[in-house]
Structure 1
């Protein structure tokens, strides 16, 4: 079972793996330490009698949505692993698969949504001196896109990002252009499942902003400019936060 857990975990780095065991979701190793601390639940250990204890903690499956919501609001990415066959019909190890990954920018469950507050997922791409940004609130379907060109393009895009205050930002390559343009953030990095990618997270008022940056295929031409009529809000990105682990 531990080997199965490790294989699934290796396929989803940068997440906290909720591993289904009967009526509970269990977390192991470093995930257990983080989960116990952030959720304020008991940290115990498996295989104590073998002299090689494995840290673990767990939550009831019927209450998992609330615990996942707490972690996502703190900026963590959660991979949910379910048993995909009936344990009573097999004598072998039950097959398990990750069925969904929940991130700050992709909330669907009601427990993950903040009332009267947008939850934007943003993406930025650049080609030459042109920079485009797209913003999607997956819970409402609201979509906005903007484009800027010329020497001030990165400053304009950075201002748009701070205005929309996305919970999650997808960005190919280095964040240096946005940082130089004055994006108010101090990122902390950690590898994501994508090749040669990093995740960067910052404090953002009530929760965290998760910024994903890594290599990507050559971007398509940016969308046509669409200026938002939304009143500019104060930036929610600030000091360095915890990694999304």
Structure 2
């Protein structure tokens, strides 16, 4: 009986030692795997920073759809940089095609950032420093931010900061009408004017604050409605006055 117990005890001790060896091996294997996994995220001498001058992403049909660069890389199917397509697609909308093309040759089409094109090559969205000019005319200064366009490549809105002079900036979030001009938005101007604006068909409403000789001869904190620059309504809480003009 005692011999059987001793034999079982020896087998149990052997199994314990074998199990301990297996556990140690498994632990070392797991640690080795975790170390390799963690080290894959560590910078090495061969893999630090990807440095390229530009990236062009194409779709399943080989059409350039996303441009990334500083400045943006060229794209063969981009409408804005193909003057023949510009003349055919846009110039007729402005009456005198030759005059439009003369203006167009001075427009900025570049940016430092990301540009998304649609399948026909129209600009759709641009995020960058120094975004391209609107295709109805150049910007008043360098704009940094986001712009987006309709299905014919005409800008329909954006948000950004525009440098308009020495240490002078304006911040605007605007949505454009069919003619490409600001229809509604929020602005913080370089002269201190700050507020919400909306307009169309000659009418323009402003709600906010502005310095003298902007929307009124005196400083304004309130609301103004104009039609073709003629004042129709003014509420100025700064001077505690209410005036209605017809």
TM-score (norm. length: structure 2): 0.24
The structure with more strand, counted as a fraction of residues = 2
Larger relative CO (CA 8 A, sep 6+): 1 or 2?
1
**Rg (Cα) greater in structure:** 2
